[in-house]
Chain A
Amino acid sequence: MSALLEVSELSVAYGAIEAVRSVSFVVEEGQIVCLIGANGAGKTTTLRTISGLLRPRAGDIRFDGESIAKAPAHLILGRGIAHSPEGRRVFARMTVEENLLLGAYTRRDESGVQQDMNRVFELFPVLGERRQQKAGLFSGGEQQMLAIGRAMMSRPRLLMLDEPSMGLSPIMTQRIFDTIRELQQGGTTILLVEQNALAALALSDRGYVVDLGQTTLEGPGHDLLADERVRAAYLGQG
Chain B
Amino acid sequence: MTTLLQQIANGLVQGATIGLIALGYTMVYGIIQLINFAHGEVFMVGTFGALAVYRWVLPESVQDQWYVALPLMLLGGIVVAVVVAVLMERFAYRPLRNAPRLAPLITALGVSVALQEVVRLWFPDAEAAQSFPRVFVDAQVDLGPVQISATGLLLIVVSVVLSVLLQTYVNRSRMGRAMRATSQDRDTARLMGVNPDRVIVLTFVLGAALAGVAGVLYGAHLNSVDTNDGFQTGIFAFTAAVLGGIGSLRGAVIGAFIIGLIKTLGGQYLPGGTQYDYVWIFVVLILVLVFRPQGLFGEAERVRA
Contact = CB atoms under 8 A, between A and B. Distances in A.
B299 A93 contact: yes
B195 interface: yes
Contact of A74 (B177, B180, B185, B193): B193
A74 B195 contact: yes
A94 B182 CA distance: 12
B261 to A, nearest CB: 30
A105 B185 contact: no
A235 interface: no
Interface in B144-195: 174, 177-178, 180-181, 184-185, 187-195
Contacts of A101: 174, 177
Nearest to B174: A105
Interface stretch (A62-70, A77-85, A173-181, A201-209): A77-85
A92 interface: yes
B128 to A, nearest CB: 48
A106 B195 CA distance: 11
Contacts of A83: 191
Nearest to B178: A105
Interface string A73-111: 111111000110100010111100010011101100000
A105 B188 contact: no
A93 B191 contact: no
Contacts of B195: 72, 74
A105 B304 contact: no
B184 A93 contact: yes
B168 to A, nearest CB: 15
Majority DSSP secondary structure for residues of B touching A: helix
B184 A92 contact: yes
A89 B188 contact: yes
Of the four ranges (under 10, 10 to 19, 20 to 34, 35 or more), the interface on chain A belongs to 20 to 34
Contact of B187 (A53, A93, A102, A154): A53
A51 interface: yes
A136 B300 CA distance: 14
A89 B180 CA distance: 14
Given A74-B196, A105-B174, A136-B304, A94 B191 contact: no
B265 to A, nearest CB: 35
B194 A94 contact: no
B193 A94 contact: no
Nearest to A73: B190
B181 A77 contact: no
Interface in A36-68: 51-53
Contact of B190 (A53, A92, A136): A53
B187 A77 contact: no
Contacts of A74: 190, 193-196
A105 B187 contact: no
A112 B135 CA distance: 51
Nearest to A83: B191
Interface in B266-305: 299, 304-305
Contacts of B192: 77, 102-103, 105-106, 150
A11 B141 CA distance: 71
B294 to A, nearest CB: 14
Nearest to A154: B193
Interface string A107-148: 000000000000000000000000000001000100000000
Nearest to A78: B193
B303 to A, nearest CB: 11
Interface in A148-177: 150, 154
B186 to A, nearest CB: 10
Most chain A CB within 10 A, of B178, B189, B305, is at: B189
Nearest to A107: B193
Contacts of A73: 187, 190-191
Given A53-B190, A101-B174, A102-B189, 15 more contacts: A51-B190, A72-B190, A73-B190, A74-B190, A74-B194, A77-B193, A89-B185, A89-B187, A91-B180, A92-B304, A94-B177, A94-B180, A102-B181, A105-B174, A105-B192
* Ranked 7 nearest A-B pairs via Cβ: A73-B190, A106-B193, A77-B193, A89-B188, A74-B195, A102-B192, A105-B192
Interface of A: 51-53, 72-78, 82-83, 85, 89, 91-94, 98, 101-103, 105-106, 136, 140, 150, 154
10 contacts: A51-B191, A53-B191, A73-B190, A74-B194, A83-B191, A89-B185, A89-B188, A92-B184, A105-B174, A105-B177
